[in-house]
């Protein structure tokens, strides 16, 4: 049987297929279809099955990562949302946290409020922080709000009441009423999407869930239909932001949890590879067509966060801690009002794409610069399936960058790449050195279609001594999907001091969350022996404003002492100190439900031959002003023998990417097919 992983990106849709019995891995890549992402998925699966002689009935698992939800938020193309909230809290969404997006730049404004004021309706109800009902729900007001939304053509409704995380009864009843009046509406409850305190973040996350819900549901229906038409019997799973998989039904209910779907899978895959090859400390460097995603892996484990923003809107769900910037292969080079060269964040995307792709693009991009300097193949990509128009790429750089700056084509193209390198390096420092990590202890794990093109230059600028490039790096996120387990995070707020008299209630909450996790895993079809639950507590010293997360094995009656000790260690690791005699305040109890998925092992890969035998030619490539044009050997990645070592400069080509090995760098192919590049000392 075969397992297929799919990552839908802004420019390309990537596929990885593993033969469960033989452990053989196949890779595939097709241009994305932004108007209907499921179209590229279907054509890619069909092409890959046909190429390798696999029947659809032999496919036992399909997992996919998608940027649909993220793009809907970024482009503000979600459904019109109506909000029903507690009287007096209509403007929480607009007031927010009273902070500016950029402290010193007054030209950077807040994004538009996700729900216009006329569609934010207050109703009478009140639940106290203890969960006690103080004021009954005004059901007639809820009904009137629903009728108003229906008249205005609203397609999605958010219901968010104060303290509903402690007692959801009013939200549940309000949903019943709205469903009666608006049977076709997509309805999101804050007590289901994010049952935590802090009403602004809970409200924002629930509103975004409702905004992306209707279009995500249509996309998922098309996706399911196309998979079934291919003859694949097993229902697909989707990667969500914490790097785990969940069913299509769960994605329909919680689409906001897929905001970092594909990139999270890439980090999970990188961590798995790093553990196997003995490199537990990694900076992941995923450069695609529209963005660069960077993250940190410490001691073999990705870092997680539940505090982040998507396009300026708070999304408070557990997710892999990934820093995203608008710098990818399709990022456009442009001149600002002062005549300075800028690169990104806007992108040519898949359509029209870079000029060198010959699909109608008219703006110079990072990819065009790589083609002009012949670091990328100037004839064709994707093993010859995609023709490259090098003459047009050089011409657009000369016309729109070189002439305005008084530079030749080489200098203009190099300028584009140097700016891109600086932007990427700044993103890496934001997740590493700015948080106290020494980059000399890490390796740069480069993947995505464009990651290996920029890796050595970024590593040099950041002081990272080694670069690791996995096999077929352009499909690493799709590969990571096949290394992910089914998982979901459950949370309940319980604000109490960590003392013996309150610990029994905390233990009871964990028991309830475990039951909830078991029920969810059962609905996901996970057999009981493959189920697991991981517990954690968000806590802080009394008087603090933000929490640290403390993993906890013992949540029973005797677990208090172990928790207090673990909190002290976690606080010191996060802030550099702890205070032994200060009261600890418990905020949230968390349980991550995990359903283990049978995964094909990362097996060693043995290739015989010689380095000279893998050489497929030479190409004059530009290696900066210091070296100029250099006649550079070009190698076929798939023919490089295991254990082979060679010196740069060199270009290593494969279906999904090209790796640049700089002048004076040394590369070796390890037992798992990874390229390990050591920079100059």
* Three state DSSP letters for 301-338: EECEECCEEECCEEECCCEECEEEECCCCCEEEEECCC
* Mean pLDDT in residue range 150-168: 96
Report the chain's terminal Cα–Cα distance, integer Å.
47
Chain CA centroid to CA 456, Å: 23
How confident is the model at residue 66, as a pLDDT?
86
pLDDT higher than threshold 60 for residue 498: yes
**Max CA separation in the chain (angstroms):** 80
Which backbone phi and psi does 175 adopt, to 5 degrees? -60, -40
Region 332-356 average pLDDT: 88
Residue 307 pLDDT exceeds 90? no
Q: To the nearest whole percent, how much of the chain has pLDDT over 70?
A: 99
* Helix (H) / strand (E) containing 189: strand 186-189
Give the residue among 29, 16, 11, 113 at the shortest CA–CA distance from 71. Answer: 11
More confident residue, 85 or 604: 85
User: From the CB of residue 197, how many other CB atoms can be counted at a distance below 10 Å?
Assistant: 17
Whole-number pLDDT of residue 599: 72
Neighbours of 74 (CB within 10 A): 17
Query: Residue 606 and residue 603: Cα distance in Å, rounded?
Result: 10
Q: What number is the average pLDDT over the span 531-560?
A: 90
Mean pLDDT score, 622-646: 94
Which tokens sit at 356?
Answer: 């060198």
Above 90 in pLDDT, residue 234?
Answer: no
Average pLDDT in the chain: 91
Q: Residue 600 above 80 pLDDT?
A: no
The answer to whether the peptide bond before residue 649 is cis (omega within 30 degrees of 0) is: yes
Average pLDDT over residues 533-553: 92
pLDDT for 681 equals: 53
For the ranges 90-99, 393-402, 510-519, 582-591, the lowest mean pLDDT is seen at 90-99
Q: What is the 3-state secondary structure (H, E, C) of 128-176?
A: CCCCCEEECCCHHHHHHHHHHHHHCCCCEEEEECCCCCCCCHHHHHHHH
Distance CA 60, CA 68 (A): 25
Q: Please give the backbone phi and psi of residue 6, each rounded to the nearest 5 degrees, phi first.
A: -130, 135
Domains of the chain by start residue, with CATH: 2-73+220-234 (3.30.420.40), 78-217 (3.40.50), 261-325+426-478 (3.30.420), 331-372+383-419 (no CATH), 486-595 (3.30.1490), 611-678 (no CATH)
pLDDT interval class at 90 (50, 70, 90): very high
How many other C-beta atoms lie within 10 A of the C-beta of residue 576?
8
pLDDT of residue 574: 82
Report whether pLDDT(172) > 60: yes
Mean pLDDT, residues 307-312? 79
Structure-token match 């990188």, residue found: 270
Q: What are phi and psi of 148, to 5 degrees?
A: -65, -45
Contact between 11 and 289 (Cβ < 8 Å):
yes
Lowest mean pLDDT among 346-350, 425-429, 453-457: 346-350
Q: Check residue 22 and give its pLDDT.
A: 74
Listing DSSP states for 502-559 in one string gives: HHHHHHHHHHHHHHHHHHHHHHTT--GGGEEEEEEEEEEETT-SS-EEEEES--STT-
Q: Give the Cα separation of 290 and 71 in Å (integer).
A: 11
Give the pLDDT mean for 69-90: 90
Least Cα distance to 165 among 201, 197, 133 occurs for 197
| Bond prior to 503 in cis (omega within 30° of 0) | no
């Amino acid at each position: 049987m075969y397992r297929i992983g799919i990552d839908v990106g802004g420019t390309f849709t990537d596929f990885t297929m593993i033969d469960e019995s033989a452990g053989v891995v196949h890779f595939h890549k097709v241009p994305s279809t932004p108007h209907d992402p499921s179209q590229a998925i279907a054509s890619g699966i069909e092409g890959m099955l046909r190429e390798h002689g696999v029947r659809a009935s032999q496919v036992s698992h399909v997992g996919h990562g998608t940027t649909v939800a993220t793009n809907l938020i970024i482009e503000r193309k979600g459904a019109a949302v109506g909000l029903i909230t507690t009287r007096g809290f209509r403007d929480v969404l607009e007031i927010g946290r009273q902070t500016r997006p950029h402290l010193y730049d007054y030209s950077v404004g807040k994004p538009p409020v996700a729900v216009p004021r006329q569609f934010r309706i207050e109703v009478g109800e009140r639940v106290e922080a203890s969960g006690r009902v103080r004021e009954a729900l005004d059901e007639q007001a809820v009904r009137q709000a629903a009728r108003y939304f229906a008249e205005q053509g609203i397609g999605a409704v958010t219901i968010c009441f104060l303290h509903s995380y402690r007692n959801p009864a009013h939200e549940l009843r309000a949903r019943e009423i709205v469903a009666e009046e608006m049977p076709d509406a997509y309805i999101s409850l804050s007590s289901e999407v994010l049952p935590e305190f802090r009403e602004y973040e809970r409200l924002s996350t629930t509103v975004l869930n409702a905004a992306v819900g209707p279009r995500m549901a249509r996309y998922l229906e098309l996706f399911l239909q196309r998979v079934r038409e291919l003859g694949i019997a097993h229902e697909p799973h989707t990667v969500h932001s914490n790097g785990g998989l969940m069913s299509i039904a769960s994605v329909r209910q919680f689409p906001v949890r897929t905001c970092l779907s594909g990139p999270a899978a890439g980090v999970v895959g990188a961590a798995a590879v790093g553990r196997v090859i003995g490199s537990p400390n990694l900076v992941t460097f995923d450069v695609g067509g529209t963005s660069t995603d960077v993250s940190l892996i410490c001691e073999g484990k990705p870092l997680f966060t539940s505090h982040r923003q998507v396009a300026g809107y708070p999304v408070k769900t557990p997710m892999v801690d990934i820093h995203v910037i608008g710098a990818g292969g399709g990022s456009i080079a442009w001149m600002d009002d002062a005549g300075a060269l800028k690169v990104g964040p806007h992108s040519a995307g898949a359509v029209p794409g870079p000029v060198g792709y010959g699909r109608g693009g008219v703006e110079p991009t990072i990819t065009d610069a790589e083609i002009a300097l012949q670091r990328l193949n100037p004839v064709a990509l994707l093993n010859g399936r995609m023709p490259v128009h090098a003459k047009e790429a050089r011409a657009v750089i000369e016309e729109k960058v070189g002439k305005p700056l008084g530079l030749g084509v080489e200098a203009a193209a190099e300028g584009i790449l140097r700016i891109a390198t600086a932007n990427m390096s700044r993103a890496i420092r934001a997740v590493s050195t700015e948080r106290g990590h020494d980059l000399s202890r890490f390796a740069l794990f480069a993947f995505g279609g464009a990651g290996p093109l920029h890796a050595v230059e970024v590593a040099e600028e950041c002081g990272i001594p080694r670069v690791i490039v996995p096999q077929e790096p352009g499909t690493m996120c799709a590969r990571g999907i096949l290394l992910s387990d089914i998982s979901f995070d459950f949370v309940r707020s319980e604000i109490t001091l960590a003392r013996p008299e309150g610990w029994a209630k905390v233990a009871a909450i964990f028991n309830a969350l475990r039951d909830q996790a078991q029920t969810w895993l059962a609905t996901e079809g996970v057999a009981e022996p493959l189920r697991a639950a991981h517990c954690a507590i968000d806590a802080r010293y009394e008087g603090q404003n933000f929490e640290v997360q403390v993993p906890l094995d013992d949540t029973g009656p005797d677990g208090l002492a172990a928790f207090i000790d673990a909190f002290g260690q976690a606080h010191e690791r996060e802030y550099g100190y702890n205070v032994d005699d200060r009261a600890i305040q418990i905020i949230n109890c968390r349980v991550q439900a995990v359903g283990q998925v049978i995964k094909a092992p990362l097996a060693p890969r043995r290739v015989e031959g010689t380095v000279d035998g893998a050489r497929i030619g030479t190409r004059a490539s530009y290696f900066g002003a210091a070296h100029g044009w250099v006649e550079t050997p070009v190698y076929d990645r798939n023919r490089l023998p295991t254990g082979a070592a060679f010196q740069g400069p060199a270009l290593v080509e494969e279906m999904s990417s090209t790796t640049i090995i700089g002048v004076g760098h040394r590369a070796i192919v390890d037992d798992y097919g990874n390229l390990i590049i050591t920079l100059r000392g």
